[in-house]
A and B are shown apart, each in its own frame.
Chain A
Amino acid sequence: MEKKYKSAYYSHVIKIALILIIGGVLAVWARGLFLPDTMGQYGHYRGSDLEDQRNVEVRNHTNESCYECHRPIRLVHKAGVHKTVSCEFCHGPYADHITDGKYVAKMPVKRDMEIKTLCLRCHNEIIRARPEESIKVVAMPLHLEEKKVNVEHNCNQCHMVHDPLLWVKAAYDMMGLEMKGDKK
């Protein structure tokens, strides 16, 4: 009874098998065609991307790079309390100024109220999350009132921006006074 339904020919099976085999071969060939050459060189990724990643442009340099040319600032900045502040934080990235060892554009310099904004970005006492050990914070305009100066004054009228205590220390020395909290 059952035998009746079984075909005596295997052509349909052979056809399916052939299609599958050809399809499989085509798929492997196409995969090789579309995959990048270095795919799987070190793992399941394009090996040559490691080289691409290394060739990303270094746009921020170090303070030392700036000191190469800006010698007078080097002496002041390196000796002062702001020595850990990056030049590029206030002036912009090195690559905008020098590209391939050549001067390309002027660096922006902060002026007037921009300076005050920049100073208060770190030194403002209102933001209470700043740890005391890391930074000296001041309250404005309380600080100006305490020091008995005009409340309209800008920070850089007393503090040299590249070494904030340079002039203050000099003034104390001139008066023969001891600076409060001076670690020296």
Chain B
Amino acid sequence: MKEIVDIVDIKKEIKKDRRAFIKNVLSGTIAGSLLMVIPAGAALDQRLPEQLPGMRGNDSPFTEKKFAFIVDVTACIGCGSCCVADKNEYNVPDGNYRTWVERYIIDDHDEVFVDSPNGGLDGYTKPRKDIPNPVRDTFFVPKLCNMCEKPSCVQVCPVGATYKTEDGFILVDKKRCVGCGYCIQACPYSVRFLNPVSRTAEKCTWCYHRVREGLLPACVNVCPTHARKFGDLNDKKSEVYKILREPHVISVLKPDMGNQPALHYLGLRREVV
């Protein structure tokens, strides 16, 4: 009975304005089919290529992945693309660096000279003139958060603002942080700083927000020489898995601190701290 009434209603509707009716039906169909394609609430342009497969549209709080970051010291040219991208991504205040590039110069008396003018943000344009002896070895070392397996920063936070997610990211809760600075002192790699604007601790997050959208971290994405590599260790086809599994000279910074970083370096020299 109700169906007949409905059909009569529709017929009335069509009679009233045929053009408007078709318009409504069509737009409804198109919008409906689009909703099935585009996940609701996603601000990011979905046409962006997915650089990390299987991340987009995953709404669970933690992923099943085990991420690793590899920096190839033998490939880095010290252009500072990574530093520029990082500053742009987070609007990092001047004088603070979530990632930076250090220049190491070792002379033939085994004396080590390290500098990092403006964190490598302006690139390296001038050679160092104060090296007394002939240079034996020189290279660039990009630095960022080591995402330790046993993070000392998490352990010392008195308010639970710094934490480790189940998929291995160490993050800082801006709303919870009171800016006491314990974590800044506890970090063996000095990657943390107190944001002068928000007065909270801040550090590299391996671009958690980008990774969860299936994008590579900003610095990895821009690196022209592919010196920065990022991937999933659970995926046996990934580049990082292959590098960490096959024989290479792979090392982490300050292994004696016992933090077990997930950031690995290829071709690192023993002089690097």
Contact = CB atoms under 8 A, between A and B. Distances in A.
B182 to A, nearest CB: 15
Interface stretch (A3-11, A25-33, A48-56): A48-56
Interface in A130-160: 130-131, 133-135
B77 A135 contact: yes
Chain A: interface size category: 35 or more
B89 A128 contact: no
Most buried by B among A55, A93, A126, A130: A130
B210 interface: yes
B160 A50 contact: no
A42 B140 CA distance: 39
A50 B89 CA distance: 19
B81 A86 contact: yes
Interface stretch (A16-24, A58-66, A103-111, A167-175): A58-66
B208 A49 contact: no
A141 to B, nearest CB: 15
Contacts of B84: 89
Given A49-B176, A129-B138, A60 B126 contact: no
B209 A86 contact: no
A128 B160 contact: no
Contacts of B175: 36, 46, 49, 52
Contact of B77 (A82, A93, A134): A134
A66 to B, nearest CB: 11
Given A59-B88, A129-B105, A84 B48 contact: no
A57 B85 CA distance: 14
B213 A45 contact: no
B203 to A, nearest CB: 13
B161 interface: yes
A121 B123 contact: yes
Interface in A75-90: 82, 84-86, 88-89
Contacts of B226: 84
Given A45-B176, A53-B205, A86 B221 contact: yes
B112 interface: no
B133 interface: no
Given A53-B205, A84-B223, A89-B222, 20 more contacts: A46-B173, A47-B61, A52-B174, A54-B209, A54-B212, A56-B90, A58-B209, A58-B215, A59-B88, A59-B90, A59-B218, A61-B45, A65-B48, A88-B85, A89-B81, A92-B88, A100-B43, A121-B80, A130-B78, A134-B76
27 contacts: A36-B175, A36-B176, A43-B163, A44-B160, A44-B163, A45-B160, A45-B162, A46-B175, A52-B173, A52-B175, A53-B209, A54-B212, A58-B89, A59-B88, A62-B221, A64-B48, A84-B224, A85-B224, A86-B81, A86-B85, A86-B222, A89-B84, A122-B123, A122-B224, A129-B103, A129-B105, A129-B139
Listed from nearest, the 9 A-B pairs whose CB atoms lie closest are: A45-B163, A86-B222, A121-B123, A56-B209, A93-B88, A49-B173, A129-B138, A134-B225, A44-B160
